[in-house]
C-alpha cells in the first residue's frame, strides 16, 4: 500500500491489508448472502478495531490487533456467522480500549455488542486455585452460555490463540493459563463436541506442563512418520479401490492422534512409543449414511476386525452430538489400526461441535441444538435454587469423565446414562415423577435391588407407587446429576419441615417452663433480630439446634432473670439440654445440619462419639 490515499480508503482502491484479504477469503458465504455487503461490514469492523488498538503491542512485540484478527480467522474457519466473526475482531475492545458497549451498540448493532460484552464478562472471571470459587465461576460462565453459546465459541478461539502464543509469557503465567485450560476449557470443549479444538488445546497444555515429554514424543513421531505413512497407505489403498467400483470417491486420510492422547496411552498402558500401533486413526469420509455402512462392510471384508472395538455412533450418537462408525482392524503384522467412517456433515460436527450449527444461519441465532441434550439438562440444574457450587462441580466431574451406556425402556426407547447408573438414575432420566415414586425395578424382566448397576443394552422397567418417595439410602448409589438434584431437594424439604415442627414444639415447651407462654407470638416474630427471613426459618433454626430458645430470651429480655424451677433433676436436664442443643457440632456420617433427636438414656457432652441412625 504505497498510495497514502489507498491506506485511508482501501475500499475505493481495492488495496486491502493482507490479513484482511485472507480473512474475507476464508469466510463461507451463504447462498442468499451478498459478498460485497459482508466485505464492507467486516472492513468497517477491521478498520475500527485496528484504530482502537493502535499503539498496543503483545508481549511478543507484535501489534495487539494481530491477535484479534487471528481470533476472527479461527471463527471464520469454523464457519461462524458474520456477526460472530466481527465480534472476534472486536472482542477485546471493551476491555482494552476506550470503546464502550454503548458505542459498539450504535456502530454495529445490539447482537454484536451483546457478544463482545459477554466475552468481556467471561474474561473478567479469574479461575483461582481456590476450588469453590472456581466452581462458582464455572457456573456463571455456563449460565452465560444460556444467553448465547457464541460467546463461549469466541472465547475458545481466543484461548486457542493465547495458548498458541503462550511462550512469550512468564513461566508462572504459562503454568496458570495451561492449568486453567486443562481444567475448564478442555472438558467444556469435549462437552460441546468440539473435538478438534479439544485435541489442539490438550496438546498445547501438554507442551507447557510437560515440555520434556512433549519434545521426546515430537521427535519420535517426526522420525517415524515416513514409515508409518507407508503402512497407512497399504491399508487405505485397497479400501479406496473397492469403493471406487461402487462409484464412491471417499475422502480418506490417516491422521496422527493428538500428542496428549498418545502420551496418555503410553502412560496408562505402560508401553513404549514403538509398541503403540494406533498412532493413526484412518478416516473415511463419504457423502451419505448408507455409504458409511457400505465402506464398513468393505473394510471388514478386507481386514479382520477386532470384535469388541466396533462402535456405531451413527445409530447411537454421543450426548455431545458426535456421530461416526469406529472399527479397529488387524494389520498384516498384527498392528491395531482404528478406522473411523462418517459423512462430511458428521465430520464437520465432530471437528467444531456445536459451532457447526451456525453454518449459513446468518442473521438469526439458531439457539441450542437438540443434540446438545447435556447442555439443556445442565442449565436445568443450574437454575435450581439449591445448587451448591462444590456439589455441582463434583456432579459435573462424574458426568464428564465417565463413559456412557445405553439402556432401553420397555417400549424400546433408548436412554443414555453414565457408567455406574442405577435403576433410580434411569427412572429420573425417563421422567422426574417416575423417579420420585420409584419403588422397584426389573432388569431384563427380573426384579433387582434399586442399587444394581445397569449394563449396556439392559432393558429396564420401573415399578412405581404413589406412596413411595425418595429415601436417604438412594443418595448412596444414584450418580446422575438430575437424580441427585431431585432427591436432594426433596430430602432437604422433608428435613426442613420436620425441623420447623420440632422448633415450634421446643419453643412452646421452653416458654411454658419459663412462664412466658403468653409471649410466644413475640418470640416467634422476632426472627429479623436474629437474621432470619421469616418465623419458619427461625423455628427451623431452633429445631436444628442452630439457636436455642434461651439465647432468644437473653436477647429479647436482656434485663430479666430466667425463671426456672431449679430442682436437682431440672439442673441436670438443663445441662443435658445445653449439651444437646449444640446439634450443629454433631456430624453424622458426613451429613451436617441434620435434625437430631436423642434417645432418653443418651446424654452426651461435646466431644463424645455418638451412634445414630437416620429415619424419616
Ligand atoms: Mn483476546
* Alpha carbon of 542 to ligand 1 centroid (Å): 52
Residue 185 CA to ligand 1 center (angstroms) comes to 15
pLDDT at 351: 77
Predicted pLDDT of residue 336: 79
Mean pLDDT by 10 residues, the chain (616 residues): 57 78 85 82 94 91 94 92 93 92 94 88 58 51 60 91 93 89 80 82 93 89 82 88 88 78 78 68 90 92 83 80 86 82 87 64 42 53 50 47 70 78 94 93 91 86 92 92 90 90 89 85 86 88 85 82 56 62 55 63 66 66
Ligand 1 centroid distance, CA of 158 (Å): 5
- The DSSP 8-state label assigned to residue 529 in this structure reads G
Active-site residue, 96 included: yes
- In this prediction, residue 121 carries a pLDDT of 74
C-alpha cell at 267: 502412560
- The predicted pLDDT at position 442 comes to 93
Cα-to-centroid distance, 500 and ligand 1 (Å): 52
CA of 7 to the centre of ligand 1 (A): 26
In angstroms, rounded to a whole number, what is the distance separating the alpha carbons of residues 612 and 608? 13
Taking the centre of ligand 1 as the mean of its atom positions, its distance from the CA of residue 411, in whole angstroms, is: 50
| Annotated catalytic residue, options 96, 404, 461, 498 | 96
Ligand 1 centre to CA of 78 (Å) is 17
pTM of the model: 0.58
What's the per-residue H, E or C state across 237-265? HHHHHHHHCCCCCCEEEEEECCHHHHHHH
Distance, CA 160 to ligand 1 centroid (Å)? Answer: 10
List the catalytic residue out of 95, 237, 551, 560: 95
192 burial via Cβ count (<10 Å: 0-12, 13-18, 19+): buried
Is 332 an annotated catalytic residue? no
What domains are there in the chain, each with its CATH number? 4-207 (1.10.3210.10), 220-355 (3.30.460.10), 402-478 (3.10.20.30), 489-565 (no CATH), 569-616 (no CATH)
The span from the CA of 441 to the CA of 455, in Å, is: 14
Q: How far apart are CA 339 and CA 342, in angstroms?
A: 10
DSSP H/E element including 328: strand 325-330
Amino acid at each position: 500500500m504505497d498510495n497514502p490515499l489507498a491506506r485511508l480508503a482501501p475500499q475505493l482502491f481495492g488495496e486491502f491489508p493482507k490479513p484482511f484479504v485472507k480473512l474475507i477469503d476464508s469466510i463461507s458465504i451463504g447462498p442468499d448472502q451478498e459478498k460485497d455487503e459482508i466485505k464492507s461490514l467486516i472492513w468497517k469492523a477491521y478498520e475500527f478495531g485496528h484504530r482502537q488498538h493502535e499503539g498496543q503491542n503483545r508481549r511478543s512485540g507484535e501489534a495487539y490487533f494481530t491477535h484479534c484478527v487471528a481470533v476472527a480467522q479461527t471463527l471464520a474457519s469454523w464457519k461462524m456467522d458474520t456477526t460472530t466473526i466481527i465480534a472476534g475482531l472486536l472482542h477485546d475492545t471493551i476491555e482494552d480500549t476506550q470503546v464502550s458497549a454503548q458505542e459498539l451498540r450504535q456502530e454495529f448493532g445490539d447482537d454484536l455488542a451483546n457478544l463482545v460484552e459477554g466475552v468481556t464478562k467471561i474474561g473478567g472471571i479469574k479461575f483461582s486455585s481456590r476450588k469453590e470459587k472456581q466452581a462458582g465461576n464455572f457456573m456463571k460462565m455456563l449460565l452465560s452460555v444460556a444467553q448465547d453459546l457464541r460467546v463461549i465459541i469466541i472465547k475458545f478461539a481466543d484461548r486457542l490463540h493465547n495458548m498458541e502464543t503462550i511462550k512469550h509469557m512468564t513461566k508462572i503465567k504459562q503454568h496458570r493459563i495451561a492449568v486453567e485450560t486443562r481444567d475448564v476449557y478442555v472438558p467444556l470443549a469435549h462437552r460441546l463436541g468440539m473435538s478438534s479444538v479439544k485435541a489442539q488445546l490438550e496438546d498445547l497444555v501438554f507442551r507447557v506442563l510437560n515440555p520434556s515429554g512433549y519434545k521426546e514424543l515430537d521427535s519420535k513421531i517426526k522420525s517415524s512418520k515416513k514409515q508409518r505413512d507407508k503402512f497407512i497407505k497399504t491399508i487405505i489403498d485397497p479400501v479406496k479401490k473397492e469403493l471406487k467400483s461402487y462409484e464412491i470417491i471417499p475422502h480418506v486420510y490417516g491422521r496422527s492422534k493428538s500428542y496428549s492422547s498418545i502420551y496418555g496411552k503410553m502412560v496408562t498402558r505402560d508401553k513404549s512409543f514403538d509398541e503403540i500401533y494406533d498412532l493413526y486413526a484412518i478416516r473415511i469420509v463419504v457423502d451419505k449414511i448408507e455409504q458409511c455402512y457400505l465402506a464398513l462392510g468393505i473394510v471388514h471384508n478386507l481386514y479382520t476386525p477386532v470384535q469388541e472395538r466396533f462402535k456405531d455412533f451413527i445409530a447411537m450418537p454421543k450426548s455431545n452430538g458426535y456421530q461416526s462408525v469406529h472399527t479397529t482392524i488387524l494389520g498384516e503384522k498384527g498392528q491395531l489400526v482404528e478406522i473411523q467412517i462418517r459423512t462430511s456433515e458428521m465430520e464437520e460436527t465432530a471437528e467444531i461441535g456445536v459451532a457447526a450449527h451456525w453454518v449459513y444461519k446468518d442473521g438469526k441465532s439458531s439457539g441450542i441444538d437438540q443434540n446438545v441434550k447435556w447442555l439443556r439438562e445442565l442449565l436445568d440444574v443450574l437454575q435450581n435454587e439449591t445448587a451448591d457450587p462444590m456439589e455441582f462441580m463434583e456432579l459435573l466431574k462424574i458426568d464428564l469423565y465417565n463413559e456412557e451406556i445405553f439402556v432401553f425402556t420397555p417400549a424400546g426407547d433408548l436412554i443414555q446414562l453414565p457408567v455406574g447408573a442405577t435403576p433410580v438414575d434411569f427412572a429420573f432420566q425417563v421422567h422426574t415423577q417416575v423417579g420420585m415414586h420409584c419403588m422397584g425395578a426389573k432388569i431384563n424382566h427380573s426384579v433387582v435391588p434399586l442399587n444394581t448397576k445397569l449394563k449396556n443394552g439392559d432393558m429396564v422397567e420401573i415399578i412405581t407407587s404413589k406412596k413411595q418417595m425418595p429415601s436417604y439410602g438412594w443418595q448412596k448409589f444414584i450418580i446422575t446429576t438430575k437424580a441427585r438434584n431431585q432427591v436432594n431437594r426433596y430430602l432437604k424439604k422433608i428435613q426442613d419441615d420436620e425441623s420447623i415442627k420440632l422448633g415450634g414444639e421446643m419453643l412452646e415447651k421452653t416458654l411454658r417452663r419459663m412462664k412466658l407462654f403468653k409471649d410466644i407470638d413475640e418470640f416467634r416474630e422476632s426472627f429479623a433480630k436474629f437474621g432470619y427471613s421469616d418465623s419458619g426459618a427461625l423455628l427451623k433454626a431452633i429445631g436444628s439446634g442452630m439457636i436455642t430458645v434461651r439465647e432468644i430470651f437473653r436477647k429479647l429480655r436482656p434485663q430479666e432473670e430466667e425463671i426456672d424451677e431449679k430442682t436437682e433433676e431440672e439442673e441436670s436436664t438443663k445441662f443435658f439440654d445445653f449439651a444437646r442443643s449444640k446439634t450443629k457440632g454433631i456430624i453424622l456420617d458426613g451429613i451436617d445440619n441434620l435434625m437430631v433427636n436423642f434417645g432418653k438414656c443418651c446424654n452426651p457432652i461435646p466431644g463424645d462419639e455418638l451412634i445414630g441412625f437416620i429415619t424419616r
